[in-house]
Amino acid sequence: MKLVTCCSFKGGAGKTTALMGLCSALAAEGKTVALFEADENRPLTRWQENATRRDTWDPLCEIFIADEMPLLEAAYDQANGRNFDYALVDTHGGSSELNNTIIASSNLLLVPTMLTPLDADEALATYRYIIELLMGESLVVPTAILRQRVPVSRLTSSQRAISEMLSALPLTDTPMHERDAFAAMKERGMLHMIIRDAATNPSMRLVLRNLETAMEELSLLERFVSNALEH
């Protein structure tokens, strides 16, 4: 079982959205996914509840509460024992023993950030913290910055400057753009399941292409993750 963690010290950086999108892309490929809920606000649990009501939850995915150390250990043992292909972890904000354990145990770390000065500063602080923690434990875990909510159209001068600054760090191959499909996942469920329903609903024909474009981006993220875990 491969452990992939989305981490950020700042709330609202998009780590939960990134994790939801990656989960959907993996499930669309037939992979089983354990979702470790380490954020005490339980956003993944609410996501599942909303998706279940809409019949847009994929049974290949299951949530395990992991917001305390004993719960994390039990979740890992149970998911690993059931041979899940992936475990995706949604960390809580800030530094803690729980987050340190998750970081040190991961096979891949993703640090989401939007292209704003505040978000970029927080992403850099998170990245620095991760590297220092791993060096202190003599560990090497691939870590990449995931640019979130990037405008589909032209970037502003400030966004371009931040993007150029981030390019000095390891990045995912492609960003997640600012799309309604991503913003709506928390309420509407798993994107590949939403597309399944839209494809059979004539009234959704006009938005189907937008949903498929968003799914194509997530497939590129899934490919990046799979390749990173192979090396």
Mean local confidence (pLDDT), 142-171:
94
Q: Tell me, what CATH number does 10's domain have?
A: 3.40.50.300
Please say if the pLDDT value at position 203 is more than 80.
Answer: no
How many CB atoms within 10 Å of residue 227?
10
**Any idea which residue has 């998750």 for tokens?**
102
> What confidence score (pLDDT) does residue 36 get?
97
- Token reading at 9: 């010290």
Please say if the pLDDT value at position 9 is more than 80.
Answer: no
CA-nearest of 120, 130, 214 to 168 is 120
Structure pTM? 0.93
> What confidence score (pLDDT) does residue 172 get?
96
| Cross-sheet strand order for the sheet of 143-148 | 61-65, 33-37, 86-90, 2-6, 108-114, 143-148
- Cα–Cα separations (whole angstroms), residue 101 to 17, 37, 152, 197: 22, 14, 36, 39
- 16 residue type, one letter: T
> What confidence score (pLDDT) does residue 207 get?
86
pLDDT digits (tens, 9 = 90+) for 13-54: 688 999 999 999 999 999 999 999 998 889 999 999 999 999
pLDDT band at 95 (very low <50, low <70, confident <90, very high): confident
CB 90 within 8 A of CB 15: yes
pLDDT digits (tens, 9 = 90+) for 184-198: 999 999 999 999 998
What residues are paired with 4 via a beta bridge? 88, 108
Number of structural domains in the chain? 1
Range of the domain at 146: 2-230
> What confidence score (pLDDT) does residue 78 get?
97
pLDDT above 70 covers a percentage of the chain that reads 98
Q: Distance (Å, rounded) from C-alpha 104 to C-alpha 130?
A: 9
Please say if the pLDDT value at position 213 is more than 80.
Answer: yes
pLDDT digits (tens, 9 = 90+) for 57-82: 999 999 999 999 999 999 999 999 99
Helix 205-230 to helix 15-28 angle (10° resolution) is 90
Please say if the pLDDT value at position 100 is more than 80.
Answer: yes
Q: Distance (Å, rounded) from C-alpha 76 to C-alpha 128?
A: 26
**Mean of per-residue pLDDT scores for the chain:** 93
CA-nearest of 159, 157, 163, 133 to 145 is 163
pLDDT band at 199 (very low <50, low <70, confident <90, very high): confident
